[in-house]
Structure 1
């Protein structure tokens, strides 16, 4: 049996979903190190763009239909070591709920000023800049 190296692991696509002056955050049942609250996210499947994966993962995890606005940036996550992409999204239809009960414990719509309570180590710069521009305190 061989273990996947980090280079062989699929990238993770995160959806930065904004509605009603708040951003959607989810709490995983099993945290990844310090990562407890995060954005809806999951592995990019073969043939998918990061934006397509972010849209699909949002539907699967929280039952929302969203559209990708723009790819905000990519990096190797400093806490998980995984390749990450971040896509700004808007809600097309639906009401957010914990659709994937195996992966998620809860979700919250979070105001800009409250993000540090959920992500105390700070957000990826381009994500913070995007939220600063679309959310009004």
Structure 2
């Protein structure tokens, strides 16, 4: 950051791509959360909808086409410990695959070691901090606001 430049929060959109009782996770290769498991997602572009960003990021990172994209929640995450402190407003979405037989590809190997499906009740460790915080709070991406399981 340049001298006198003010740090501003960024907006990230991440996606719980769900299939059965599983979610898609990848192992990060970045300065923030290196070697932790995280959802696909990325930065919201100017003028882009949350749904549009979710679809674009999942396609860019995994080659998967998603549908039924729903806003789940928003979190406020400040990373003070990272090599370059940052602040993210993270928009969590849920989506399903257009074609359930699609297999994820690792289209950004410099950012991710690979993608795989993990049962929600048996997630890998370590999870990326914002995701881990949600899991520990009892958050469930498979239920809607009234607590019912979604199809």
Distance across 2 between alignment mates of 1:57 and 1:12: 10
| Residue ranges of structure 1 left out of the alignment (5+ in a row) | none
Matched, 1:87 2:58: no
Q: CA RMSD in A?
A: 2.8
Query: Greater helix share, 1 or 2?
Result: 1
Candidates 6, 9, 13, aligned match of 2:8: 6
- Matched position secondary structure for 1:58: helix
Structure with the greater alpha carbon radius of gyration = 2
1:64 corresponding residue in structure 2: 64
Q: C-alpha displacement at 1:107, in angstroms?
A: 1.4
1:124 corresponding residue in structure 2: 134
- Matched position secondary structure for 2:125: helix
Q: C-alpha displacement at 1:120, in angstroms?
A: 8.0
Q: C-alpha displacement at 1:12, in angstroms?
A: 0.3
Q: C-alpha displacement at 1:104, in angstroms?
A: 1.2
Q: C-alpha displacement at 1:71, in angstroms?
A: 0.2
Q: C-alpha displacement at 1:20, in angstroms?
A: 3.4
- Matched position secondary structure for 2:47: coil
- Matched position secondary structure for 2:55: helix
Q: Are the aligned partners of 1:55 and 1:68 in contact in 2 as well (CA < 8 Å)? A: no
Q: C-alpha displacement at 1:54, in angstroms?
A: 1.1
Distance across 1 between alignment mates of 2:15 and 2:35: 16
1:19 corresponding residue in structure 2: 19
TM-score w.r.t. length of structure 2: 0.73
Choose 52-61 or 75-84, whichever is displaced more: 75-84
Q: C-alpha displacement at 1:47, in angstroms?
A: 1.1
Distance across 1 between alignment mates of 2:58 and 2:6: 26
Q: C-alpha displacement at 1:77, in angstroms?
A: 2.1
- Matched position secondary structure for 2:90: strand
| Residue ranges of structure 2 left out of the alignment (5+ in a row) | 80-85, 144-148
